[in-house]
Amino acid sequence: MFHQGLRELLTEIVSSGTFGTAAQACVMQGGRTVVEVAVGVDGVGAAVDLDSVFSIYCACKPLTAVAIGSLFDSHALSPHDRLGDVLAVEINGPLRELLIEDLLRHTAGLEFQSELFLARKPYERDLLVRSLEPLARSEGVGRYSEYASWHLLALVLEALTELRFDQAIDQLVLAPLHLSQEISFTPSGGIRDRLRLNVDLTRPGVGPLPILWEASPEVMDDIRPGTGAVASMRGLATLFMHLASVWTGSSAGSVISGPTTRFLTQPATALEYDPVLGRTLSYSRGFFAGGAFPGLSRSAFGCAGLSGMTFAAADPERDVALAIHTNGIVDGRLAPELDRRELLVRAAIAGLT
């Protein structure tokens, strides 16, 4: 059975210790769960189960994109709106000329490393982002944006909804899909109790180091639009299953419409080498476009987190969605990374019609 194949592969990965100490996966087809898997223990030895949540880093970016898409549908916002025409807060002059489209598809010239921002207090971070000077960029060429674009998109959401960013995400995306207990930017006590820690595997000879700061109150309370959500793979797979169904028109868009979903997820940039997934691909608008996930169709779209430890995808042609997390942060140049993700995707969809 393909179920067992995915479980065995995840168990083997965890047992080897190469990519983490734990794994969690969920595969859905036609709106129903086909298989859920949870194996291993987290960085401090806590057992991982199907209800566990993890910090997913950049894999949370589609949440902001979907929320922005809902504003496209309501005509509160357009992809071609200038940032300076939407925001009342003061921002650097060149930032005012950026289009919402530029921010979503990584063509805004804001590919500064996230560490530049995350080491600062929230108010300092906000001031820094709003003072940035976009880097020179070629038309249609994307450079993966780690933080700044998503901070600015969060300001757009706050301006147009008059809600705090995390509240806007919940109201526009999570609550309608009944995912408020599966994905969160500001996890409550119940979700915090389910948090399991990732491990750092980038130091040869040291072994897995638990990333203790992930569970610290100051991190849990810090609203970080580009990197700051926690999620279960059940939650991510459900989100992508909904998007796949809306994409094909097989279900009504309770969050965003089919045309907007297709607009957000179709290729929107020239082909580029992506350092997260380690392959040449196109960015869409808040997602990775088709070709990012071998074994899926060209209409597929998805996302990935830090060093690819979290990845989720939807394949509208197969009416399939999957989300997989292995909890180790690894050196992005590690050659087996590409093979690991391809093997997991193929194991997840093996036997599906």
CATH number of the domain enclosing 179: 3.40.710.10
Contact 179, 239 (CB under 8 A): yes
Same domain, residue pair 55 and 177: yes
Residue 116 confidence (pLDDT): 84
pLDDT band at residue 208, thresholds of 50, 70 and 90?
very high
Residue 301 confidence (pLDDT): 95
Domain C-terminal end among 107, 140, 166 = 166
**pLDDT, greater one: 345 or 277:** 345
Q: How many domains does the chain have?
A: 2
Same domain, residue pair 202 and 125: no
The kind and range of the H/E element at 257 are: none
Same domain, residue pair 222 and 296: yes
What tens digit of pLDDT does each residue of 35-44 get? Answer: 999 999 999 9
pLDDT band at residue 338, thresholds of 50, 70 and 90?
low
Report the pLDDT averaged over residues 157-185.
97
Same domain, residue pair 179 and 237: yes
Give me the amino acid identity at 81.
Answer: D
Contact 137, 103 (CB under 8 A): no
Domain C-terminal end among 110, 145, 166 = 166
Give me the amino acid identity at 225.
Answer: P
Same domain, residue pair 153 and 194: no
Is the pLDDT assigned to residue 228 strictly greater than 90?
yes
Residue 282 confidence (pLDDT): 87
Same domain, residue pair 320 and 195: yes
Residue 1 confidence (pLDDT): 38
Residue 273 confidence (pLDDT): 79
Same domain, residue pair 133 and 92: yes
pLDDT band at residue 332, thresholds of 50, 70 and 90?
low
Q: Could you list the residue range(s) of the whole structural domain that residue 112 is in?
A: 67-166
Residue 129 confidence (pLDDT): 95
Q: Work out the mean pLDDT of the chain and round it to a whole number.
A: 90
Same domain, residue pair 207 and 325: yes
Same domain, residue pair 327 and 211: yes
Contact 214, 329 (CB under 8 A): no
Cβ atoms within 10 Å of 189's Cβ, excluding its own:
6
Same domain, residue pair 181 and 136: no
Residue 333 confidence (pLDDT): 59
Domain C-terminal end among 166, 187, 204 = 166
- C-alpha angle 81-276-344 in degrees, rounded to nearest 5: 120
Same domain, residue pair 49 and 123: no
Contact 19, 10 (CB under 8 A): no
Cβ atoms within 10 Å of 86's Cβ, excluding its own:
18
**pLDDT, greater one: 143 or 126:** 126
DSSP string, 36-79: EEEEEB-TTSPBP-TT-BEE-GGGGHHHHHHHHHHHHHTTS--T
What tens digit of pLDDT does each residue of 275-305 get? Answer: 767 778 889 999 998 677 888 988 999 999 8
Same domain, residue pair 192 and 143: no
283: which 2 tokens? 């960015």
pLDDT band at residue 336, thresholds of 50, 70 and 90?
low
